[in-house]
Amino acid sequence: MKVLVFVEIDDKKIRSTSLEAIAYANAMGADVTAIALGSAGRASLEALGKYGAKKVLHASDSKLDQPIAQAYATVITKALTDENAEVLVLANSSLGTPVAAKVAIRTGAGLVSNVVDLPDTSSGFSVKRSIYTGKAFSVVEVTGAKKIIAIKKNAAELKEVGGTAQVVDYPVNLPDTDFNAKITSTEKATGEILLPEADIVVSGGRGMKGPEHWGILEELAKELHAATGCSKPVSDMNWRPHHEHVGQTGVKVAPQLYIAVGISGAIQHLAGVNSSKCIVVINKDPEAPFFKAADYGIVGDAFDVVPKLTAAIKAAK
Amino acid sequence: MKILVCISCVPDTTSRINFIDNNTKFDTSGVQFIVGPYDDYALARAVEIKEANAGTTLTVLNVGLADTEPIIRKALAIGADDAIRVNAEPTDSFFVASQIAEHAKGFDLILMGRESIDFNSGVVHAMVGEMLGIASFSPIMKLDINGTTAKMAREIEGGKELLEASLPLVLGCQEPIADWKIPNMRGIMSARTKPLKVVEPKAVNAEVKLKKFELPAPKGAVKMIPADNVGELVRLLKNEAKVL
Ligand SMILES: Cc1cc2nc3c(=O)[nH]c(=O)nc-3n(C[C@H](O)[C@H](O)[C@H](O)COP(=O)(O)OP(=O)(O)OC[C@H]3O[C@@H](n4cnc5c(N)ncnc54)[C@H](O)[C@@H]3O)c2cc1C
Ligand SMILES: Nc1ncnc2c1ncn2[C@@H]1O[C@H](COP(=O)(O)O)[C@@H](O)[C@H]1O
């Protein structure tokens, strides 16, 4: 089976979720070609071979440094045909998901987003996806000849398998009409670990009492190479930026470890964290509902426990 | 200006999810339904734009069976002028997008939520845009319209991007684009007589078919660790959970 994987480049770096998409395609036992758009170093593209890409198409047109989904969809639609690929795999993201939807309409492919596991091809082609905001799954069959699979974080294990991919220049002709919006500016936290991609998340709630107290969470996060998150009231009150808000109406995270500090564990918050592998809850109230959803719990004052935890992690290194 | 807001009718965010008929059907017993929370943001912003721009009309559209009508009436009570219900069960994103596209022609602004909280696909807006041949963006957290130009902020991983594009547009919305609106008594009274047109769905060839639903495996019991022994937590995270 031939599979094309859309690889996202962010600031000339390959997104870790895109590496997972390659690993996913490789684990399907497929013949994997990746396609990368925009400026990127050759070495980083060749290194996609490590996760199983045999070939990397590189559409390096600098116009594609603007991540406009419409233009990306044009390139990927063409590559699907050129490569005669049966399946397109990509990571769910603010760019990947709209690209998947557009390519699906243009090619008539069956699209499944939010996929959490490898396909079952024992009879037909079935995949499992997360629904009801992490509270359930559905197993769906994709019947069409072409298929698009948009995966959630952790849908495949990131395993190193191969060597160097062959990088092929992929020139494209982009109509001006594809650039259907002008990106006037991009505001992004630099040098930080992105919340949706983080393996460890340290999250704070209203129990942190105010934005001036986030320092102890940031120190813990730094020690763990973690991203920081928060509950909705915290971002509503502007204690933290909106893109850190985790939950039903915010970012859905799927880290290895989620540490919740001073968060009560309302069902809407849990909806954003229930795909975490391991949950640690620190709360001064032993009755906080979050403990029921946790793997490990500490009843205690955040201002006492968090600095001790940071020190203990440092000591254990 | 003509605005269309597409609303999904979904289980309240506090609902317990269960399935019946051999895990092939959602169990609606005891479940309260609401306007999708993101769709509610879209609706709230649409009402604000309508109030600020005389002559603007606001239509809401839902793909759903007759039991969604109380939810549609709620959207009318919040400030929509009229409504369309496509009389079909929303079984899959492509199906829903195809139905919406049938009725979305001629609107300047088509607002949706960033995602439905039952399907969580996050793709209907982009599909509708593609079907109609107009631009679509999501998730939009700020929207200002000036003439035929829209200035927007779109959330991206770790931040946001500021965008400018021309109408017509399809947008998936999220907070803090507007504050949720609660219908007042006058709105509720007038909603009863606002037009709600019911139309039959068009035939769609589905490429994706549901086989079954599943619930996650139940969570094991929490292990409590005394606050004066955080070293034990670090040890367990390393050796037992193997996440450090
Ligand atoms: C439609 C809808 C969607 C929503 N979406 C989201 C969402 O996406 N994300 C989200 O988070 N919420 C969401 N909510 C809100 C949610 O219902 C809760 O109100 C919210 O999660 C509570 O935030 P919190 O836990 O920070 O605050 P609180 O509920 O006030 O909890 C604070 C906690 O801190 C503890 N605490 C206090 N002081 C200390 C201390 N010194 N040390 C340790 N612990 C301490 C307290 O015991 C308490 O448990 C949504 C609500 C609705 C209706
Ligand atoms: N049954 C429906 N009727 C009308 N609009 C819908 C329906 N389902 C989804 N939508 C709209 O499409 C958006 C994205 O949905 P989804 O792609 O399912 O996550 C939602 O936020 C709604 O605005």
pLDDT digit string, tens, across residues A15-30 = 999 999 999 999 999 9
Q: Give me the phi and psi of B53, to 5 degrees please.
A: -130, 100
State the average pLDDT for chain B.
95
Q: What is the mean pLDDT of residues B76-90?
A: 97
For the Cβ of B64 lying below 6 angstroms from any atom of ligand 2, the answer is: yes
Burial (CB count within 10 angstroms: exposed 0-12, middle 13-18, buried 19+), residue A196 = buried
Q: What is the mean pLDDT of residues A217-242?
A: 96
Output the CA B120–ligand 2 centroid distance in Å: 9
State the Cα–Cα distance between residues A199 and A216, nearest whole angstrom: 19
Dihedral, A86, A92, A94, A98 alpha carbons, nearest 10: 30
Q: What is the mean pLDDT of residues A105-111?
A: 96
In chain A, pLDDT over 70 holds for what percent of residues?
A: 99
Q: Tell me if chain A has a CB within 8 Å of the CB of B147.
A: no
Around Cβ A107, how many Cβ atoms within 10 Å?
A: 20
Assigned token pair, A159:
């395993």
Question: What is the number of residues in chain A?
Answer: 317
Q: What is the mean pLDDT of residues A272-283?
A: 94
Q: Give me the phi and psi of A68, to 5 degrees please.
A: -100, 115
Regarding beta strands A200-204 and A257-261, do their DSSP bridges make them parallel or antiparallel, or are they unpaired?
Answer: parallel
Residue B136 has pLDDT above 90, yes or no: yes
ω into residue A98 within 30 of 0, thus cis? Answer: no
- List B110's β-bridge partners, or say none: B4, B170
**Cross-chain Cβ contact A280/B233 below 8 Å:** yes
| The pLDDT value given to residue A192 | 76
Question: What is the number of residues in chain B?
Answer: 244
> Which ligand lies nearest to the CA atom of residue A205 in the structure?
1
Instruction: Find the farthest-apart pair of alpha carbons in chain B and give their distance in angstroms, rounded.
Output: 66
Nearest to B158 among A105, A195, A305 (CB): A195
Q: Tell me if chain A has a CB within 8 Å of the CB of B204.
A: no
| The pLDDT value given to residue A191 | 67
- List B236's β-bridge partners, or say none: none
